[in-house]
């Protein structure tokens, strides 16, 4: 499966470029425009990332994650989930930048190519900042009663997180 | 919300380091964290721009519009309060396609537009089932190339930043299906109950 991911990237870029060329799009102009937007969006998340990485770095240096992991390990070990991942899973629905900061601290401790690093990557990649999305979309039309949106969205997130463990371990 | 979490993280790390006798490490970690953050952003920047650039080509060459069109028969099944080809469903399709291709900057305004169009046919102060379905689809959205994760993995020195691609596809598809099924079931339950 790892190799499939490796091939997907160049093949995908090739297809997009050929498709764009065939459609007579000015592909390089489009690329530049998009890459510029990438810089802009990175700049817009930079302040949050800086603040949260400082805080996560402090938490990690203080021994907080070790304490939490020790407390959780009897439960998580039975479920076959590395307990280091739990803080990220809890942060994920609330803050994208926060969960990326924790993901980065997992990468530093275990390397991104380790099993824990992969599970954490898949978890972060297959779930969304649920509470933020719900707040933005219902807030935009001034709806305060969200009915069953939160439980349904959280069931989706939970499924993504469980599947992250299963796919990395068994696929 | 995030303000409280941030405050909590800083206060907790202070007390934890006092308990574990790590106050010296904590002092170092503050400056180190700030420094690390900028290095991280810089080493993520190239990969992020690569994908926003490539996806812009897809967008400009009509691939986004094509995908949105292919999606519309599925969407009118999922959101039966709106007719096929309605303004609302067109905005929904555009938003979901933008999310799928990772055009995050474009996706949110399109999503807000979709919500506003959908509200026009909903006089209640509670959202109808289709509006909830739309928000659930957004919170469980699939992304073809999870570029932020790949950029972060690359920045952390991964040898294969994209090796997680297939796992992410499978997991997020499962999350999406779970979200759709639970939204449908909650919707039926609300109607009957």
> What ipTM describes this predicted complex?
0.92
pLDDT, average across residues B80-108: 91
Q: For chain A, first and last CA: distance in Å?
A: 7
CA dist., res. A72 & res. A101, Å (int): 21
Q: Residue B59 corresponds to which tokens in the numbers above?
A: 């967008």
DSSP structure class, residue B140: T
Q: Residue B142 corresponds to which tokens in the numbers above?
A: 């699939």
Q: What is the predicted pLDDT for the residue at B123?
A: 79
pLDDT, average across residues B55-66: 94
Q: What is the predicted pLDDT for the residue at A123?
A: 96
pLDDT at position A8 over 90:
no
Q: Do A148 and B190 touch (CB under 8 A)?
A: yes
Q: What is the predicted pLDDT for the residue at B122?
A: 87
| Chains A–B, number of C-beta pairs less than 8 Å apart | 349
Q: Do B166 and A1 touch (CB under 8 A)?
A: yes
Q: Do B165 and A67 touch (CB under 8 A)?
A: no
- Nearest CA of chain B to the CA of A56: how many Å? 7
CA dist., res. A101 & res. A118, Å (int): 15
Q: What is the predicted pLDDT for the residue at A20?
A: 96
**Nearby residues of A90 by Cβ (< 8 Å), 6 or more positions away:** none
Q: What is the predicted pLDDT for the residue at B106?
A: 82
* Interface check B5 vs A, CB under 8 A: yes
pLDDT, average across residues A28-51: 93
A147: left (phi over 0), alpha (psi -120 to 50) or beta: left
- Nearest CA of chain A to the CA of B71: how many Å? 19
Q: Do B139 and A156 touch (CB under 8 A)?
A: yes
Q: What is the predicted pLDDT for the residue at A6?
A: 77
Q: What is the predicted pLDDT for the residue at B193?
A: 59
Q: What is the predicted pLDDT for the residue at B2?
A: 80
Chain B CB contacts of A41 below 8 Å: 48, 52, 104-105
Candidates A9, A20, A53; nearest CB to B37: A53
pLDDT, average across residues A119-138: 93
CA dist., res. B36 & res. B168, Å (int): 27
Closest CA to A87 of A106, A108, A111, A113: A106
Q: What is the predicted pLDDT for the residue at B95?
A: 94
* Interface check B61 vs A, CB under 8 A: yes
Least confident of A84-88, A163-167, B39-43, B120-124: B120-124
Domain ranges of chain A: 46-170
Closest CA to B131 of A140, A158, A93: A140
CA dist., res. B37 & res. B35, Å (int): 5
Chain B CB contacts of A131 below 8 Å: 1
Least confident of A2-6, B69-73, B183-187: A2-6
Closest CA to B8 of A74, A128, A62, A49: A62
Q: Beta-carbon neighbour count of residue B68 at 10 Å?
A: 22
- Nearest CA of chain B to the CA of A162: how many Å? 8
* Interface check B159 vs A, CB under 8 A: yes
What's the sign of the alpha-carbon dihedral B74, B77, B79, B81?
A: positive
B57: left (phi over 0), alpha (psi -120 to 50) or beta: alpha
Percent of chain B surpassing pLDDT 70: 99
Q: Residue A26 corresponds to which tokens in the numbers above?
A: 């000015």
- Nearest CA of chain B to the CA of A120: how many Å? 10
- Nearest CA of chain A to the CA of B164: how many Å? 6
pLDDT at position B191 over 80:
no
pLDDT band at B103 (very low <50, low <70, confident <90, very high): confident
Q: What is the predicted pLDDT for the residue at B46?
A: 94
pLDDT band at A171 (very low <50, low <70, confident <90, very high): confident
pLDDT at position A4 over 90:
no
Averaged pLDDT of chain B: 93
CA dist., res. B128 & res. A140, Å (int): 15
CB A145 within 8 A of CB B120: no
Q: What is the predicted pLDDT for the residue at A46?
A: 92
A143: left (phi over 0), alpha (psi -120 to 50) or beta: beta
Chain B CB contacts of A58 below 8 Å: 9-10, 13-14, 26, 29-30, 33
- Nearest CA of chain B to the CA of A26: how many Å? 8
Please report which helix (H) or strand (E) contains residue A89, including its range. Answer: helix A86-91
Closest CA to A30 of B62, B55, B65: B55
Residues B147-178 pLDDT 10s: 999 999 999 999 999 999 999 999 999 999 99
CB B54 within 8 A of CB A13: yes
Q: Do B158 and A111 touch (CB under 8 A)?
A: yes
Percent of chain B surpassing pLDDT 90: 84
Mutate which: B30, B54, B115, B147, vs A, most A CBs within 10 A: B54
Q: Residue A137 corresponds to which tokens in the numbers above?
A: 């979309």
DSSP structure class, residue A84: G
pLDDT band at A2 (very low <50, low <70, confident <90, very high): confident
Percent of chain A surpassing pLDDT 90: 74
Least confident of A41-55, A71-85, A137-151, B17-31: A71-85
CA dist., res. A103 & res. A112, Å (int): 9
């Amino acid at each position: 499966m790892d190799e499939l991911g490796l091939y997907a990237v160049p093949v995908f870029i090739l297809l997009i470029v050929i498709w764009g060329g065939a459609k007579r799009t000015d592909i390089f102009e489009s690329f530049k425009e998009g890459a510029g937007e990438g810089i802009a969006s990175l700049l817009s998340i930079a302040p949050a990332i800086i603040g949260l990485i400082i805080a996560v770095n402090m938490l990690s240096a203080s021994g907080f994650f070790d304490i939490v992991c020790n407390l959780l390990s009897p439960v998580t070990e039975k479920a076959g989930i590395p307990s280091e991942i739990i803080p990220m899973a809890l942060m994920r629905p609330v803050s994208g930048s926060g969960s990326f900061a924790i993901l980065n601290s997992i990468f530093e401790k275990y390397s991104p190519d380790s099993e824990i690093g992969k599970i954490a990557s898949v978890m972060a990649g297959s779930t969304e900042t649920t509470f933020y999305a719900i707040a933005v979309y219902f807030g935009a039309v001034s709806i305060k009663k969200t009915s069953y949106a939160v439980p349904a969205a959280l069931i989706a997130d939970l499924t993504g997180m469980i599947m992250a463990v299963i796919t990395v371990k068994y696929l | 919300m995030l303000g409280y979490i941030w405050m909590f993280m800083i206060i907790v790390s202070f007390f934890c380091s006092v308990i574990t006798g790590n106050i010296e490490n904590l002092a170092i970690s503050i400056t180190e964290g700030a420094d690390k953050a900028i290095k991280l952003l810089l080493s993520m920047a190239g990969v992020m721009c690569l994908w926003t650039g490539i996806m812009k080509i897809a967008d400009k060459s009509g691939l986004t519009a094509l995908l949105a069109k292919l999606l519309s028969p599925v969407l009118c099944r999922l959101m039966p309060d709106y007719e096929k080809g309605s303004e609302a469903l067109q905005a929904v399709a555009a938003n979901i396609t933008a999310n799928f291709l990772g055009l995050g900057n474009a996706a949110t305004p399109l999503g807000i537009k979709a919500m506003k169009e959908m509200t026009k046919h909903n006089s209640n102060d509670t959202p109808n089932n289709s509006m909830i379905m739309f928000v659930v689809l957004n919170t469980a959205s699939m992304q073809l190339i999870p570029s932020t994760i790949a950029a972060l993995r690359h920045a952390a020195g991964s040898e294969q930043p994209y090796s997680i691609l297939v796992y992410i596809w499978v997991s997020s598809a499962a999350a999406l299906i779970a979200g759709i099924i639970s939204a449908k079931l909650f919707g039926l339950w609300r109607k009957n109950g």
